[in-house]
A and B are shown apart, each in its own frame.
Chain A
Amino acid sequence: MRGVKNMSIFGLKDLGTKIAITALCFSLIPLIGLGVTMYSMFASAYHSKVRANLITLAENKRQGIDLFLREQVSQLRTIAHSHSVEDLASQEKLDNILATMQLGSRTFIDLGLINEEGMHVSYSGPYNLSQANYKNEDWFNQVMVRKIYVSDVFEGFRGFPHMIIAVKKQERGRVWILRATIDSDIFDSLVRWLQIGDGGDAYLVNRAGDLQTRPRFGNKSKDIYASFLGSPFSGAKATEFESQKKKIFVGGIWLEQKDWLLVIEEDMRGELQPLFETQAATWAVVGSGIAFIIIGTLLISRMIVVQQERSNREQAQLNEELIQSSKMAALGKLAAGVAHEVNNPLAVIREKAGWMRDLLEEEDVKASPNFMEFEDAVNKIEQHVERAGNVVHRMLGFARRMEPVCNDLYINDVIKQTTAFLDNEIRFRNIELVWNLAPDLPTIQSDASQIQQVILNLFNNAIDAIDRNGHITVTTGFEPESEMVSISLRDDGPGMDKDVQTRIFDPFFTTKKVGEGTGLGLSISYSIINKLGGSIRFESEVGLGTEFVIHLPVKHHDRKE
Chain B
Amino acid sequence: MTEKNNSQIAPVHTGPTVLVVDDEQDFVETLVKRLERRGFKVEGVGSGQEALLMLGKSSFDVVILDVMMPGMDGIETLREIKLAWPKTQVILLSGHGGEEMGMRGMAYGAYSYLLKPVSLKIVVETAHMAFEEGGFR
CB within 8 Å of B: which residues of A?
Answer: 336, 339-344, 346-352, 354-355, 357-358, 361, 382, 385-386, 389, 393, 396, 400-402
Extra inter-chain contacts (16) besides given A357-B3, A361-B4, CB under 8 Å:
A340-B95, A341-B95, A343-B116, A347-B24, A347-B27, A348-B27, A351-B34, A351-B120, A355-B33, A358-B3, A358-B34, A358-B37, A361-B7, A393-B115, A396-B96, A400-B97
Minimum Cβ distance to chain B for residue A382 (Å): 6
State in angstroms the CA–CA spacing of A151 and B21 once bound together: 148
State in angstroms the CA–CA spacing of A357 and B7 once bound together: 9
Known: A339-B96, A347-B118, A393-B97. A382 touches B1 (CB 8 A): yes
Known: A340-B96, A382-B1, A400-B97. A348 touches B33 (CB 8 A): no
Minimum Cβ distance to chain A for residue B124 (Å): 11
Contacts of B30 in A (CB 8 A): 348, 351-352, 354-355
Contacts of B95 in A (CB 8 A): 339-344, 346-347
Nearest opposing residue in chain B for A354, CB measure: B120
* B98 near A347: Cβ-Cβ < 8 Å: no
Contacts of B119 in A (CB 8 A): 350, 354
State in angstroms the CA–CA spacing of A350 and B120 once bound together: 9
The digit string for B98-136, where 1 denotes a CB below 8 A from any CB of A, is: 111000000000000001111110000000000000000
Contacts of A382 in B (CB 8 A): 1
Contacts of A357 in B (CB 8 A): 3
Known: A355-B33, A358-B34. A349 touches B117 (CB 8 A): yes
Contacts of B100 in A (CB 8 A): 400-401
Contacts of A350 in B (CB 8 A): 117-119
* B3 near A344: Cβ-Cβ < 8 Å: no
* A348 near B97: Cβ-Cβ < 8 Å: no
Minimum Cβ distance to chain A for residue B12 (Å): 15
Minimum Cβ distance to chain A for residue B47 (Å): 15
Nearest opposing residue in chain A for B24, CB measure: A344
State in angstroms the CA–CA spacing of A243 and B57 once bound together: 132
Contacts of B33 in A (CB 8 A): 355, 358
The digit string for B19-30, where 1 denotes a CB below 8 A from any CB of A, is: 000001011001
Contacts of A339 in B (CB 8 A): 95-97
State in angstroms the CA–CA spacing of A158 and B41 once bound together: 169
Minimum Cβ distance to chain B for residue A341 (Å): 8
* B97 near A389: Cβ-Cβ < 8 Å: no
Minimum Cβ distance to chain B for residue A62 (Å): 115
State in angstroms the CA–CA spacing of A417 and B4 once bound together: 39
* A385 near B117: Cβ-Cβ < 8 Å: yes
Contacts of B8 in A (CB 8 A): 361
Query: What are 16 A-B interface contacts by the 8 Å CB criterion?
Result: A336-B96, A340-B68, A341-B95, A342-B95, A343-B95, A343-B97, A343-B117, A348-B26, A351-B26, A355-B30, A355-B33, A355-B34, A386-B117, A393-B115, A400-B97, A400-B99
Contacts of B27 in A (CB 8 A): 344, 347-348, 351
- Chain A CB within 8 A of B55 CB: no
Known: A339-B96, A357-B3. A347 touches B37 (CB 8 A): no
State in angstroms the CA–CA spacing of A351 and B28 once bound together: 9
Most buried by B among A341, A346, A361: A361
Contacts of A340 in B (CB 8 A): 68, 95-96
Enumerate the 8 nearest inter-chain pairs by beta-carbon distance, A residue then B residue, closest first.
A343-B95, A351-B30, A361-B7, A347-B116, A396-B97, A347-B117, A350-B117, A346-B117
State in angstroms the CA–CA spacing of A348 and B31 once bound together: 9
* A343 near B98: Cβ-Cβ < 8 Å: no
Minimum Cβ distance to chain B for residue A383 (Å): 9
Minimum Cβ distance to chain A for residue B106 (Å): 16
Minimum Cβ distance to chain B for residue A476 (Å): 30
Minimum Cβ distance to chain B for residue A561 (Å): 16
Nearest opposing residue in chain A for B27, CB measure: A348
Most buried by B among A340, A346, A386: A340
- Other-chain contact of B116, A346, A352, A400, A401 (Cβ < 8 Å): A346
* B24 near A354: Cβ-Cβ < 8 Å: no
**Considering the complex, which residues of chain B in the window 47-82 have a beta carbon less than 8 Å from any beta carbon of chain A?**
68
Nearest opposing residue in chain B for A336, CB measure: B96
Most buried by B among A336, A382, A386, A396: A396
Contacts of A349 in B (CB 8 A): 117
* A354 near B118: Cβ-Cβ < 8 Å: no
* A336 near B34: Cβ-Cβ < 8 Å: no
* A402 near B99: Cβ-Cβ < 8 Å: yes
Contacts of A402 in B (CB 8 A): 99
Contacts of B118 in A (CB 8 A): 347, 350
Nearest opposing residue in chain B for A335, CB measure: B97
Minimum Cβ distance to chain B for residue A160 (Å): 134
* A400 near B7: Cβ-Cβ < 8 Å: no
Contacts of A342 in B (CB 8 A): 95
State in angstroms the CA–CA spacing of A427 and B8 once bound together: 49
* A336 near B26: Cβ-Cβ < 8 Å: no
Contacts of B31 in A (CB 8 A): 351
Minimum Cβ distance to chain A for residue B29 (Å): 9
